Amino acid sequence: MRARVALEPLAEEPGAEDESGARRRSGLQATLHRWARILSGGAAGDDARPAADLRVLLSVLACPLSPVPILPRLPRHVASSAQYIIEQFRATTGCGKLEGTAKSMYAAGKVRLAMLQEPAGAGGGHANGSAGRCHEGSFVVWQLAPGMWLVEMAVAGHSVAAGSDGRVAWRRTPWLGAHAARGGSRPLRRALQGLDPVMIASIFSTAEHAGEKQVDGEDCFVLRLDVGPSTLSSWSDGTAEVIRHGLTGFFSQRSGLLARLEDSQLTRIQSPGAAAMYWETTIASTLADYRAVDGGVTVAHAGRSTAHLARFGVGVRAARVVTRMEESWTIDDVAFDVPGLGPDAFIPPEEVRRSRFYDAMAAGGGK
């Protein structure tokens, strides 16, 4: 799953396609081809449109990964502007109480997904405008330090799951089954959406201070992380090349809390003898309703994400075709140090463990 901030690069199948056509393409290339067919109306008629839209929504927003891995904890002395901002975040959230002590986390919540439709009278498919049909559901997240996690989401009769055993990440959908991901184990993006302050502090501990910006009227410090070329190369799949992927955090100057999280990925697809096609996926999440749980640790209990899925290049009728989608969520329950939660809970599905790709990733430490 790739043209987004994603589980890289799983061979997604949100739309119908014959197996021979899928085999002729690389996993990432097949993913983007199927998305293009659905988004242009080629994979479903009007009656099937809501189901096709829901598959794309779940593919993009249900369980994306962070583009950067968990890094070793740095010394606590303040050595840069970025580290100072993170120290303020640690103090505000109280996550220092959990560092080195809390080994696991559980969270459960509700979610609403929707495509954003064009205003009446505008041409084309999905673009800016009001929300289309909403799909409601729920999700649950389990996490075991440092890199084991599992998320399950059920929306409108469809369920997806993703996980990591600390070495290899994977995802399972009803329309594709379970598949391992390239790029090794990385954190679940949902945990960075204000849910796990310890992980947020770890991820941004080596970020660069990129200035200041207002977010919803709030003055924020901007911290930026970009994925290096060698890592991007490990995500690339056949004729699909990931050109860039970055993560940006906006930390409130007033409260010290993470107010907004953005990440963007650009992928280039080119088959032999064909013109290049580009896909760009951006997900922006605004975090809200910070409340104290488990001994005073502050966690965001609500938020909203807007994703922009754009494609452009030769052969696209418009210069830039953009699909917009939205997710809003609330957290009902959060707990740290879950009794009885151990590594056995994060073993990948059997079909993932049987794959040669999984063996190679596990043996190579996820590289």
Residue 346 lies in a domain: yes
Phi, psi of 287 (to 5 degrees): -105, 145
Residue 272 counted as domain residue: yes
Is position 134 within any domain?
Answer: yes
Q: Could you list the residue range(s) of the whole structural domain that residue 301 is in? A: 19-363
| Residue 192: predicted pLDDT | 96
> What would the DSSP string read from start to end of 132-166?
EEEEEEEEEEEEETTTEEEEEEEETTEEEEEEEES
> Does 8 reside within a domain?
no
Contact 181, 168 (CB under 8 A): yes
Could you read off the pLDDT of 178-231 as tens digits, one per residue?
Answer: 888 777 788 999 999 999 999 999 999 889 999 999 999 999 999 999 988 888
Position 72 in a domain: yes
Determine the Cα–Cα distance for residues 23 and 29; give it in Å rounded to an integer: 10
Q: Using one digit for the tens of pLDDT, what is the confidence trace for 302-342?
A: 999 999 998 888 766 666 778 899 999 999 999 999 999 99
Identity of the residue numbered 35:
W
Which residues of the chain register pLDDT less than 50? 1-24, 26, 42-45, 78, 119-128, 367
User: Rounded to 5 degrees, what are φ and ψ at 324?
Assistant: -115, 140
Distance CA 264, CA 227 (A): 11
Using alpha carbons, select from 52, 1, 109, 171 the residue that is nearest to residue 328. 109
Q: Where are the alpha helices (DSSP H) in the chain?
A: 19-23, 27-39, 49-57, 81-93, 189-192, 197-203, 229-235, 350-353, 356-363
Which residues, in sequence order, are CB contacts of 243 under 8 Å at separation 6+? Answer: 232, 266, 267, 268
Q: Domain count of the chain? A: 1
| Rounded-to-integer distance, Cα 234 and Cα 182, Å | 7
Q: What per-residue confidence (pLDDT) applies to 316?
A: 65
Q: What is the pLDDT of residue 124?
A: 42
Q: Are 14 and 56 in contact, with CB atoms under 8 Å apart?
A: yes
Q: Which single residue is written with the structure tokens 């991820």? A: 203
